[in-house]
Amino acid sequence: MKILVCISHVPDTTSKINFINGDSEFDTNGVQFVINPNDEFGLTRAIWFQEQQGANVTVVNVGGPETEATLRKALAIGANEAIRVNAQPTDGFFVATQLAKIIADGGYDLVIAGKESLDYNGGMVPGMLAALTGANFVNSCIAITVDGTSVKATREIDGGKETLSTSLPLIVGGQKGIVEEKDLRIPNMRGIMTARTKALTIVEPVSTSTETKSVKFEKPAPKSAVKLFTVDNLDELVNVLHNEAKVI
């Protein structure tokens, strides 16, 4: 089984976020980047298929040279090889088009992408990939097993879970649950050293359009100051809750 895991290069959640050029661009200065968490869950599941069923795992990213450290980490975790599409990911359609070409050229059986990336939370790419490639599609996937070409997958739905039977080729939009957080792999020294010798192929992008554009970014409003009340001043607390907060 050939598995392709789509990797997004996203800011660490602890990074301080700022914008430049009239709040129209994200400021990357001083920001640490990591593997998108939803993608890391999917990568860990792919490595499980590699260990248990002999699958070959390739990771792919659409981005510039700055994303190669993230791809090398994925290789250190256990992926067999990596591909970088040499283009800036301008929007979801552009990324999906580039990945669809990689899928067509590579003949992958299973493609695992995070259901959304941590930075823009667009949630568009997995569904677009399925439409562009004609593969079956399961989004918000929290469990998956493969037997030959038959697949059983479980996904989150409003108010519960749904278990589906489908077949390869398959696109999966994964998330936490496809593996648990405790099962995530931390690269060891051997993996880091081995990753240096694994193939990282750079391919040029195919010509396509950009359908959306970020016009302006805006930070959430700062939280208001906290008011503290002593246990001897409950009447004032009730008054504030009633007249200012208007919650009672």
In tens digits, the chain (248 residues) has pLDDT values of: 999 999 999 999 888 889 999 999 999 999 999 999 999 999 999 999 999 999 999 999 999 999 999 999 999 999 999 999 999 999 999 999 999 999 999 999 999 999 999 888 889 999 999 999 999 999 999 999 999 999 999 999 999 999 999 999 999 999 999 999 999 999 999 999 999 999 999 999 999 988 988 899 998 888 888 888 888 888 999 998 999 888 88
Q: Are 200 and 81 in contact (CB under 8 A)?
A: yes
DSSP secondary structure letter of residue 69: H
* The pLDDT value given to residue 248: 86
Task: Give how far Cα 4 sits from Cα of 14, 22, 134, Å.
Answer: 28, 38, 16
Any idea where the domains of the chain sit in the sequence? 2-217
Pairing state of beta strands 19-20 and 25-26? Answer: antiparallel
125, 141, 155: which is closest to 6 by C-alpha? 125
* The pLDDT value given to residue 36: 96
Distance (Å, whole) CA 105 – CA 50: 21
Residue 221: helix, strand or coil by DSSP? coil
The amino acid sitting at 11 is: P
Query: For the purposes of burial, counting CB atoms within 10 Å of the CB of 90, is it exposed (0-12), middle (13-18) or buried (19 or more)?
Result: middle
Distance (Å, whole) CA 63 – CA 84: 7
The owner of tokens 């695992």 is 112
* The pLDDT value given to residue 220: 86
CATH 3.40.50.620 correct for 2-217 = yes
* The pLDDT value given to residue 194: 94
* The pLDDT value given to residue 247: 87
Chain mean position to CA 110 = 16
Distance (Å, whole) CA 207 – CA 210: 10
The amino acid sitting at 195 is: A
For the chain, list the strands marked E by DSSP: 2-6, 9-11, 19-20, 25-26, 33-35, 56-63, 81-86, 110-114, 136-147, 150-157, 160-167, 170-174, 200-203
Q: Are 102 and 125 in contact (CB under 8 A)?
A: no
DSSP secondary structure letter of residue 183: G
Reading the block at residue 43, the tokens are 């990568």
